[in-house]
Amino acid sequence: MRFETMGTIAIRTEKLGKQYRIGLPAVRYQTLRESLGERLVSPVRRLRSNADEYGKIWALRDVSFEVQQGQVLGVIGRNGAGKSTLLKLLSRVTYPTEGTAQIHGRVGSLLEVGTGFHPELTGRENIYLNGAILGMKRHEIERKFDEIVSFAEVEKFIDTPVKRYSSGMYLRLAFAVAAHLEPEILVVDEVLAVGDAEFQRKCLGKMSDVAQQGRTVLFVSHNMSAILRLTEETLVIEKGRLALRAPTPQAVDYYLSRGFSQEGKRIWAEDEIPPEAAPFHPIGIRILNPHGEVADTVRSVEPVTVEIEYSLAAPVVGLRVGIYLLSTRGEYIFTSFDTDEPEHFERLATRPAGHYISRCTIPADFLNEGRYVVAVNASSFRVRRYFQDDQALSFNVDATGAPGMHWPEPRLGPVRPRLEWKIEAIK
C-alpha cells in the first residue's frame, strides 16, 4: 500500500504536534532579571499548580494526513484552531514538539508576501532580495523578472524605491514574486483577504494555474466561496486537532454547522484565547432581541443588540473593542468599534483594568434576511491587536414585516433599509 503511493505523496505528517508555553519563555522574550526571577519563583509555582502542564498549550496535536502530489487541499478552522501553526511547521519556520512531517520538494508560501521587502530599495532590488529569501536562485529570478514585473503592473516604477509605491502596487509586487516561485508545494494563507477585487481575481487565477501545473497547494482561508471554488478536499481543524477530512462541500457544511450552532451567544473557552491576548480577556458575546433575550434569530424590523463581555487585567491605552459583520460567504458588511465616537475615545483614552460589557445596537430595518457572522476585534490602533475571532458567532435575520415582503422574492444585497420613497406625479 505504502509502496504504491511512494513518489506521489507530497506531504505526509504523522502525529504532528506543537506545544507552546504561555508566557515564559516560549512566547515572549524576557529580560535576564525575569529569567533569574523565574528560576527562584518557579519551584513554588510548580508546587502550586500540579506540574508540567502549567502554562503550556498544544497549538496543534496529533495531526496526521497525507497530501498527494498535484492535489489542492483546503484547510479551514476558526482563528486559533492551529491552521497557522500547521503552515508554520510545514514551511519550517518553527519546529514541532512531537511527530514528524515529510515534505517532498520545495515549499513556497504565500503567507509571507513581501517578507524582507525593504522600503529604501527599488522594486527591482526588492524582487531579487525577496526572491532569494523565498529560496529562488539568482538565474531563476533573472529568468522570471519580466514576468514578475508585468504581473505586478509596476513597469514604470521598477527603479523607484518601494516606499513611494501605493499600497496596492506594493502588494501586487510582493504577491508577484511569491507567485512566481514555482515550488512543488505552495502554501497559501489568506492573502486573498487583501487587495482590491481585481487583484483578488488575479491571485485566484494564478492559484488555479499553479494547481493545473500539477503542483500541490495547501489553501487556508476563511473565504468559503474561494475554498469551494478552488479545492476538492478540505481539512477541518478544531482546537489543534484534525477534526475532519472530507470532500470540500461536506467539510464546509460541517465547519459552518459546528462553528455556528452557538444559539445567539458564545462563551470563549480558556483554550480558545491565545496567550498574546493578555491583558485583554474575552468572556462572551451575545445577540439580544429588543426584549433583552438571547436569540439566534432576530427580526429585521426590530433593533438587534450585540454585547461583548470581557475583562482587562491591566489598563490598556487606546483600546477599541468592536465587531465586523460578515455574510456567511465571508464578505464584509460593516465594521464598528465601541470608541468610534471621538468623545468615547477621549474619555477612555486609557481603559482601566476591570470587567466590561461593550454593547451596540444594529438599528431596525437595516439587515436583509439571511445568516450573518459576527467577528470580534480588540485592538489598539497601530499598536497591537489583542484579540480577534473571525467567527465569534452567527445569527439569523427573519424578514417578516420588512419592506417589500409582499413580493415573495429574495432581495439582493445584505441590507434591507426602509427608505422613504415619494412618488410624485408630474402633471
| 112 lines the binding site for another protein (CB under 8 A) | yes
Complex with another protein: residue 211 or 397, whichever CB lies closer: 211
Q: How far apart are CA 187 and CA 17, in angstroms?
A: 19
Q: How far apart are CA 348 and CA 318, in angstroms?
A: 7
**Contact with another protein (CB under 8 A): which of 23, 55, 70, 99?**
99
Name the residue type at position 334.
F
- Could you give the residue ranges of the DSSP H alpha helices within 284-421? 342-347
Complex with another protein: residue 92 or 329, whichever CB lies closer: 92
Q: Specify whether the CB–CB gap between 300 and 367 falls below 8 A.
A: yes
| 26 lines the binding site for another protein (CB under 8 A) | yes
Stretch that binds another protein, among 125-133, 245-253, 336-344, 419-427 (CB under 8 A): 125-133
- How would you classify the pairing of strands 72-77 and 56-68? unpaired
What lies within 8 Å, CB to CB, of 234 at 6+ separation is: 73, 74, 75, 76, 227, 245, 246, 247, 248, 251, 252
| 197 lines the binding site for another protein (CB under 8 A) | no
| Residue found by looking up cell 519556520 in the block | 93
| 41 lines the binding site for another protein (CB under 8 A) | no
DSSP 411: P
DSSP string, 180-242: TS--SEEEEESGGGSS-HHHHHHHHHHHHHHHHTT-EEEEE-S-HHHHHHH-SEEEEEETTEE
**Contact with another protein (CB under 8 A): which of 1, 2, 4, 29?**
29
Complex with another protein: residue 59 or 319, whichever CB lies closer: 59
Count of all residues that appear for the chain in the document: 427
Complex with another protein: residue 14 or 365, whichever CB lies closer: 14
**Contact with another protein (CB under 8 A): which of 40, 51, 52, 120?**
120
| 92 lines the binding site for another protein (CB under 8 A) | yes
Q: How far apart are CA 233 and CA 238, in angstroms?
A: 17
- Please give the residues from 313 up to 352 whose contact with another protein meets the rule CB under 8 A: none
Complex with another protein: residue 183 or 330, whichever CB lies closer: 183
Q: How far apart are CA 303 and CA 300, in angstroms?
A: 7
Complex with another protein: residue 136 or 285, whichever CB lies closer: 136
Instruction: Kindly state the cell numbers that stand for 247.
Output: 470532500
CB of 13 to another protein, least distance (A): 8
CB of 315 to another protein, least distance (A): 23
Stretch that binds another protein, among 25-33, 324-332, 333-341, 344-352 (CB under 8 A): 25-33
| 213 lines the binding site for another protein (CB under 8 A) | yes
Q: How far apart are CA 407 and CA 187, in angstroms?
A: 46
What lies within 8 Å, CB to CB, of 134 at 6+ separation is: 108, 112, 115, 177, 178, 181
Complex with another protein: residue 4 or 424, whichever CB lies closer: 4
| 96 lines the binding site for another protein (CB under 8 A) | yes
CB of 107 to another protein, least distance (A): 8
CB of 241 to another protein, least distance (A): 18
**Contact with another protein (CB under 8 A): which of 22, 23, 30, 327?**
30
- For the chain, the farthest-separated pair of C-alpha atoms sits apart, in whole angstroms, at 91
**Contact with another protein (CB under 8 A): which of 134, 176, 237, 325?**
134
Binding site for another protein (CB under 8 A): 20, 25-33, 35, 88-107, 109, 111-112, 115-116, 118, 120-121, 125, 128-129, 132-135, 137-138, 161, 182-184, 213
